[in-house]
Amino acid sequence: EVQLVESGGGLVQAGGSLTLACSGSGFNFDDYAIGWFRQAPGKEREGVSCLTIVNGKTHYTESVKGRFTISSDNAKNTVYLQMNSLKPEDTAVYYCAADFFIETLPPDSCLHHADDWGQGTQVTVSS
């Protein structure tokens, strides 16, 4: 059974930083792209960033490019999202997601689809 456990959310002032962590178990980490989606109140869930474990490729939604960095520690089956220069509009519940990697799909498909989800962690950015 795939399990994804997030940690690291919280309250931060605008301009501050937070790091989210997602630890996976119950599956072969190398077979997946691991990433983050977020959902703000009244809005649809959107892909934020993802990383294909087997080749290390990373993808970001336009609004976080240059501010967020995704990385992994494959020995620990953990993916991190370093979030800098946070803005109030980054406020959302952030969900870790695992997407089975299929080489023939578009490289950034992990920003638009996930097979499994974590429980979510709240990130609140105050102005």
Half-sphere exposure of 19 (CA within 13 A, CB side): 9
The pLDDT value given to residue 5: 96
Nearest to 20 by CA among 63, 64, 54, 55: 64
Average pLDDT over residues 55-72: 97
- Provide the percentage of residues in the chain whose pLDDT is more than 70: 100
**Are residues 24 and 73 in contact, defined by beta-carbon separation less than 8 angstroms?**
no
For the segment 66-91, what is each residue's pLDDT rounded down to a tens digit?
999 999 999 999 999 999 999 999 99
Give the mean pLDDT of the chain. 96
The pLDDT value given to residue 125: 98
The pLDDT value given to residue 67: 98
Binning pLDDT at 50, 70 and 90, where does residue 41 land?
very high
Binning pLDDT at 50, 70 and 90, where does residue 45 land?
very high
**Are residues 121 and 21 in contact, defined by beta-carbon separation less than 8 angstroms?**
no
